């Protein structure tokens, strides 16, 4: 994704003058273009992306990311940030253009709304008139939503809410909040869940071949290791919980007992429909590399310990070592590329046109039950 | 899509992943590893798949070619190829891991020792990389080498038919040069392989827009009801390219536009745009419908060929402001070559849906631009209730663009703002590149994975290939019997010979300007 974009901007536009100001910008952009040999301009809006930024730094970061996203997800970005001062709403508007094949420029829009005073409490009313019709509304909360002025009116407008459970200070609070959104029929995309895509794919690959598929039926132990700020601390374990919940749900497991915690290890038991038990454990390892909350490794043991499947991420090399110790399997570790998920890639995935993910809803409920020790 | 021959229950862990069926561990063997196809397409596609985690971790790529090359040298060549031609460029960690999959076996394809050594090498890959005995043999070699090479593999016991481990063979067009040779090739393949082991690749079928044709037609209630003789005036399918023969004059002298493009790519496009909806989206049901359609196309008699087919050959001219030589001046081309670099056909489909609707097909080299598209032109309105001088309505046209800028556009009429009722054609445009967040995978990526999971829906079946040649044979025969007197008959950089307009007869139709 190239970050090169031409920008046309107008500052300090009153709220009710945004649309005329945008039209003027479009006119100035397209006026005389062919005659001057400039590329043709195409306005592309595939969604309304509403971003609530808690701080100036968040706003800058979100603007930078959404600008780079425009090439892949041309949108009307409506970024809202609050500022202290007398009651006022003002806007800065921009048009971003990226070159595309065929000598065209594909252009989309950014509207920054700056609210001050009580106006910050009426975000839904400010943004509603700005939505482009017939394209979805995505609400992206780059920060812990408990710190943002997210109200029911705003949520009700969103076709999809994009959030990162890692940004919550407490795992349980994150899972509770997202569960409540899901229960009120909101579509939620959690970047923490998307970070697991490669882990899930690699784990699934173990059992693609006929030789190993049976081992899923006789799986006995699962260990998930995740990085925390200090050894034994359960901080940032949301992705580890998601992973366990995913595995259990795919195996049709029912939790047999709640978490038993000792020496930085949470142990869970699950009973499968075939009446076999799977012991699952979450192991917190002190972070020496990577980010707090990253998974560090996964081990699956089956068939009385005769088969062992292991994925270990080597952070500094951005690879994972995959080891299978089983009859007929290659004994040597195989390395696969395992780059750190870039926020831009995750966000792009979150905005892609996939319909709501029923698997995620299942996994979220399971993770919440695990977190609560049910 | 349903994978053929897979009885294994679906992997519950793959549910909800980017692909619900992921490839099993396997060794991917490329015969012709030092060739152009390997560098430009296969290695870049394999690496992109690896990078996106769409290949199994337990995977090996074995290059086989004449001449000695160390594994390290093969990896270096592969890296250079991926860097130059790949959608995904090699990056440190991911590339290093992929490079560990790559190895090389040198040897002559006529020499049984080559296959013996390859067999040993693959067993080693099974034990060291866990490839589980599964094999894909990709024959990136000239078509004349397919039968002897496959025979050698058979003699070496390397293409056993079985579900697990599996063995599959990929071959690329051309599949024969006429009906007789296509049938002969199918017979030779069948001596060693069963049909579900043979994956006949036409990379057009891997393109996103081509696959989207299924969705467009069969998942939208808006279009299928008008997709017939009652509403469609005619259909134009264009595959144009500005390039010449690019140093492949000797090859092209044996092929020509009809064999090179029309018999395969264009027949695929024709069958997809005109076939009946399959009951289910399975490999055989889709391909059954395609074959049924091809068999419904009117086969021209020798007398009819002149009225329904036009050939052309480019002379010198200018492309993008640069002077270019004529076909007969290209290296490897005879000075009096009768080979066509342009072919245009008017086909009719003898079934209830399409009776009376002409399908115009044209393919050519040294045309003004690179474009592949299917244009469905609808009938004009029966009556226009506006004042005659103010309004002239163009017929609505739906264009499915295959390359470049994969997408769909619809042309319809709108009122020009003002006091008068004046009509003007406007265009609604959907582009893959801007409507979905991600780039579509390259055609080769899609097809390689489909082969590895055993899904032949997007590959040509033996009877499909033969049905397409059945249509081409009378034209080839008629053209072979009469040397063209007017070649070269179009200038490079133009839309082909003027004679191509005669296919429209006295009908008020014309070739589109894409």
Closest residue to B132, CB basis, from A46, A211, A353: A211
> Do residues B489 and B497 lie in contact, with contact meaning Cβ atoms separated by under 8 Å?
yes
Per-residue confidence (pLDDT) for residue A33, from 0 to 100: 47
Q: Between B106 and A255, where is the model more confident? A: B106
Per-residue confidence (pLDDT) for residue A83, from 0 to 100: 80
Q: Is the pLDDT of residue B164 over 80?
A: no
The position carrying tokens 């990253």 is: A294
Active site residue B234: no
Per-residue confidence (pLDDT) for residue A2, from 0 to 100: 42
Q: Is the pLDDT of residue B375 over 80?
A: yes
pLDDT digit string, tens, across residues B203-257: 888 888 788 888 888 988 989 899 999 999 999 999 999 999 888 888 899 899 9
The position carrying tokens 């029912």 is: A254
In chain A, which residue's Cα lies nearest the Cα of B428? A42
β-strands B102-106, B135-139 pairing? unpaired
Q: Between B332 and A120, where is the model more confident? A: B332
- ∠A134-A140-A143 over CA atoms, to 5°? 170
> Residue A182, CB half-sphere, CA atoms under 13 Å: how many?
21
Q: Which residues of chain A have pLDDT under 50?
A: 1-4, 33
Q: Between A264 and B442, where is the model more confident? A: B442
Per-residue confidence (pLDDT) for residue B484, from 0 to 100: 94
Q: Which residues of B touch A348 (CB under 8 A)?
A: 437-438
Q: Cβ A208–B434 below 8 Å, yes or no?
A: no
Distance from CA of A105 to the nearest CA of B (A): 11
Q: Which residues of A touch B372 (CB under 8 A)?
A: none
> Do residues A348 and A73 lie in contact, with contact meaning Cβ atoms separated by under 8 Å?
yes
Per-residue confidence (pLDDT) for residue B128, from 0 to 100: 86
What 8-state DSSP symbol labels residue B277? P
> What are the DSSP calls for A287-343, one per residue?
-SSS-TT-EEEEEEEETTTTEEEEEEEEGGGTEEEEEEESTTS--S-EEEE-PPPPH
Phi, psi of B222 (to 5 degrees): -75, -40
SS3 B342: strand
Per-residue confidence (pLDDT) for residue A354, from 0 to 100: 59
Which H/E stretch holds residue A295? strand A295-302
| Window B:367-426, CB contacts with A under 8 Å | 404-405
Q: Is the pLDDT of residue B1 over 50?
A: no
Q: What is the average pLDDT across B95-100?
A: 90
- What is the rounded CA–CA span in Å between residue A266 and residue A238? 13
pLDDT-based confidence at B91, cuts 50/70/90?
Answer: confident
Q: Is the dihedral of CA B475, B480, B482, B486 positive or negative?
A: positive
Which stretch, A90-104, A209-223, B89-103, B176-190, has highest mean pLDDT? B176-190
Distance from CA of A90 to the nearest CA of B (A): 30
Which stretch, B1-5, B161-165, B271-275, has highest mean pLDDT? B271-275
Q: Is the pLDDT of residue B35 over 80?
A: yes
The position carrying tokens 């050939």 is: B311
pLDDT digit string, tens, across residues B133-163: 999 999 999 888 999 999 999 999 999 887 7
Q: Which tokens in the block code for residue B14?
A: 């793959």
- What is the rounded CA–CA span in Å between residue B503 and residue B304? 12
Q: What is the average pLDDT across B265-289?
A: 94
- What is the rounded CA–CA span in Å between residue A111 and residue A91? 7
Q: Which residues of A touch B129 (CB under 8 A)?
A: 330, 332, 334
Q: Which residues of B touch A334 (CB under 8 A)?
A: 57-58, 97, 100, 129-130
Q: Cβ A337–B91 below 8 Å, yes or no?
A: yes
**CA torsion A357→A359→A365→A371, rounded to 10°?**
-110
Per-residue confidence (pLDDT) for residue B334, from 0 to 100: 94
Q: Cβ B128–A332 below 8 Å, yes or no?
A: yes
Q: Cβ B13–A339 below 8 Å, yes or no?
A: no
Number of other CB atoms surrounding residue B170 within 10 Å: 23
- What is the rounded CA–CA span in Å between residue B166 and residue B96? 28
Q: Cβ A339–B98 below 8 Å, yes or no?
A: no
Q: Is B129 on the interface with A (CB under 8 A)?
A: yes
Which H/E stretch holds residue B452? helix B443-452
Q: Is the ipTM of this complex over 0.90?
A: no
The position carrying tokens 């265009």 is: B427
> What are the DSSP calls for B391-450, one per residue?
--PPPPEEEEEEESS-EEEEEEEEEPSSSS--EEEEEEEEEHHHHSSSPPPPHHHHHHHH
Q: Find which of A162, A213, A337, A353 to mutate to test the B interface (most B CBs within 10 Å of its CB).
A: A337
| Window B:49-78, CB contacts with A under 8 Å | 50-51, 53, 56-58
Q: Which residues of B touch A204 (CB under 8 A)?
A: 11, 13-14, 17, 22
Nearest CA among B361, B250, B378 for reference residue B311: B361
Q: Which one of the listed residues B265, B298, B383, B482 is annotated catalytic?
A: B265
What is the overall mean pLDDT for chain B? 89
Q: Is the pLDDT of residue B397 over 90?
A: yes
Per-residue confidence (pLDDT) for residue A332, from 0 to 100: 66
Rg (CA), chain A: 24
Per-residue confidence (pLDDT) for residue A1, from 0 to 100: 43
Distance from CA of A85 to the nearest CA of B (A): 38
Q: Is the dihedral of CA B181, B182, B187, B189 positive or negative?
A: positive
In chain A, which residue's Cα lies nearest the Cα of B434? A72
Residue A158 CA, distance from chain mean position: 16
Per-residue confidence (pLDDT) for residue A258, from 0 to 100: 66
Which residues does residue B360 pair with via DSSP β-bridges, in sequence order?
B236, B346
pLDDT digit string, tens, across residues B402-433: 888 778 889 988 877 777 777 878 888 777 76
Q: What is the average pLDDT across B364-387?
A: 90
- ∠A364-A369-A370 over CA atoms, to 5°? 95
| Window B:141-170, CB contacts with A under 8 Å | 164
What 8-state DSSP symbol labels residue A72? T
Q: Cβ B8–A318 below 8 Å, yes or no?
A: no
Q: Cβ B96–A337 below 8 Å, yes or no?
A: yes
Closest residue to A101, CB basis, from B8, B92, B433: B433
Question: How many Cβ contacts (< 8 angstroms) between chains A and B?
Answer: 138
Distance from CA of B131 to the nearest CA of A (A): 8
Closest residue to B437, CB basis, from A73, A100, A205: A73
Q: Is the pLDDT of residue B5 over 50?
A: no
Q: Cβ A251–B12 below 8 Å, yes or no?
A: yes
Under 8 Å CB-to-CB from A354, ≥6 apart: which residues? Answer: none
SS3 B468: helix
Q: What is the average pLDDT across B95-123?
A: 93
Which H/E stretch holds residue B171? strand B167-172
- What is the rounded CA–CA span in Å between residue B497 and residue B488? 9
Q: Which residues of B touch A278 (CB under 8 A)?
A: none
């Amino acid at each position: 994704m190239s970050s090169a974009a031409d920008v046309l901007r107008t500052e300090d536009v009153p709220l009710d003058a945004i649309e005329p100001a945008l039209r003027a910008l479009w006119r100035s952009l397209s006026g005389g273009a062919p005659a001057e040999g400039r590329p043709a301009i195409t306005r592309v809006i595939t969604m309304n992306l509403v971003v609530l930024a808690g701080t100036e730094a968040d706003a800058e970061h979100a603007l930078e990311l959404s600008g780079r996203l425009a090439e892949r997800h041309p949108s009307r970005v409506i970024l809202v940030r609050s500022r202290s001062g007398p009651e006022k709403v003002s806007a800065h508007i921009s048009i971003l253009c990226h070159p595309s094949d065929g000598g065209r420029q594909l252009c989309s829009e950014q509207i920054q709304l700056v609210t001050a005073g009580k106006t910050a409490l009426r975000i839904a009313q400010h943004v509603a008139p700005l939505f482009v019709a017939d394209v979805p509304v995505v609400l992206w909360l780059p920060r812990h939503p408990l710190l943002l002025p997210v109200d029911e009116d705003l949520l009700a407008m969103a076709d999809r809410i994009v959030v990162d459970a890692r940004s919550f200070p407490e795992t349980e609070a994150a899972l509770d909040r997202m569960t409540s959104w899901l229960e009120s029929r909101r579509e939620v995309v959690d970047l923490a869940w998307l970070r697991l895509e490669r882990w899930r794919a690699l784990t699934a690959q173990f059992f693609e071949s006929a030789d190993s598929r049976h081992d899923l039926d006789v799986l006995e132990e699962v260990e998930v290791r995740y990085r925390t700020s200090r050894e034994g601390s359960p901080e940032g374990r949301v992705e580890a919980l998601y992973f366990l919940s995913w595995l259990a749900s795919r195996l049709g497991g029912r939790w047999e007992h709640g978490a038993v915690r000792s020496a930085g290890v949470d142990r869970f038991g699950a009973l499968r429909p075939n009446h076999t038990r799977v012991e699952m454990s979450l192991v917190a390892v002190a972070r020496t590399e990577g980010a707090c909350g990253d998974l560090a490794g996964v081990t699956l043991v089956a068939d009385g310990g005769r088969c062992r499947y292991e994925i270990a991420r080597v952070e500094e090399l951005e690879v994972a070592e995959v080891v299978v110790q089983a009859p007929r399997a290659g004994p040597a570790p195989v390395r696969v590329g395992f780059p750190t998920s870039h926020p831009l890639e995750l966000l792009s995935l979150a905005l892609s046109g996939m319909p709501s993910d029923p698997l995620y809803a299942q996994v979220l409920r399971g993770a919440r039950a695990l977190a609560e020790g049910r | 899509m349903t994978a053929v021959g897979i009885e294994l229950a679906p992997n519950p862990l793959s549910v909800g992943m980017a692909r619900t069926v992921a490839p099993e561990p396997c060794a991917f063997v490329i015969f012709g590893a030092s060739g152009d196809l390997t560098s430009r397409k296969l290695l870049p596609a394999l690496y992109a798949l690896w990078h996106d985690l769409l290949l199994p971790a337990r995977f090996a790529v074995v290059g086989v070619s004449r001449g000695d090359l160390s594994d390290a040298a093969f990896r270096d060549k592969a890296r250079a190829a991926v860097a130059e031609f790949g959608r995904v460029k090699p990056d440190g960690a991911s590339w290093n891991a992929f490079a560990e999959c790559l190895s090389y076996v040198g040897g002559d394809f006529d020499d049984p020792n080559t296959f013996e050594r390859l067999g040993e090498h693959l067993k080693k890959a099974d034990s060291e990389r866990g490839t589980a005995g599964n094999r894909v043999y990709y024959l990136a070699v000239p078509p004349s080498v397919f039968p002897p090479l496959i025979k050698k593999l058979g003699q070496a016991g390397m293409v056993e038919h079985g579900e697990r481990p599996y063995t599959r063979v990929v071959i690329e067009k051309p599949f024969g040069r006429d009906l007789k040779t296509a049938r002969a090739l199918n017979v030779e393949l069948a001596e060693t392989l069963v049909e579900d082991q043979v994956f006949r690749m036409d990379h057009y079928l891997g393109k996103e827009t081509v696959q989207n044709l299924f969705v467009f037609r069969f998942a939208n209630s808006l279009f299928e009801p008008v997709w017939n003789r009652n509403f469609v005036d005619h259909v134009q399918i264009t595959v144009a390219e500005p390039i010449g023969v690019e140093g492949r004059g000797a090859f092209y002298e044996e092929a020509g536009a009809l064999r090179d493009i029309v018999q395969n790519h264009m027949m695929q496009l024709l069958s997809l745009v005109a076939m009946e909806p399959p009951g289910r989206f399975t490999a055989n049901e889709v391909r059954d419908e395609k074959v049924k359609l091809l068999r419904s196309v009117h086969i021209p008699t020798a007398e009819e060929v002149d009225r329904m087919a036009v050939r052309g050959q480019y002379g010198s001219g200018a492309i993008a402001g640069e002077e270019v030589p004529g076909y007969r001046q290209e290296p490897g081309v005879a000075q009096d070559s009768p080979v066509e670099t342009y072919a245009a056909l008017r086909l009719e489909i003898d079934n209830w849906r399409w009776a009376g609707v002409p399908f115009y097909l044209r393919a050519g080299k040294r045309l003004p631009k690179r474009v592949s598209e299917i244009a469905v032109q609808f009938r004009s309105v029966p009556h226009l209730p506006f004042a005659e001088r103010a309004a002239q309505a163009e017929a609505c046209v739906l264009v499915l663009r295959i390359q470049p800028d994969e997408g769909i556009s619809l042309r319809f009429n709108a009122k020009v703002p003002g006091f008068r009722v004046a009509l003007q054609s406007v265009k609604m445009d959907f582009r893959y590149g801007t409507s979905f967040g991600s780039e579509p995978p390259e055609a080769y990526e899609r097809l390689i994975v489909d082969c590895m999971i055993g899904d032949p829906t997007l590959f040509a079946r033996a009877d499909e290939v033969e049905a397409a040649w059945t249509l081409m044979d009378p034209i080839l025969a008629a053209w072979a019997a009469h040397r063209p007197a007017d070649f070269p008959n179009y200038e490079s950089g133009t839309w082909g010979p003027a004679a191509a307009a005669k296919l429209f007869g006295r009908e008020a139709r014309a070739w589109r300007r894409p």
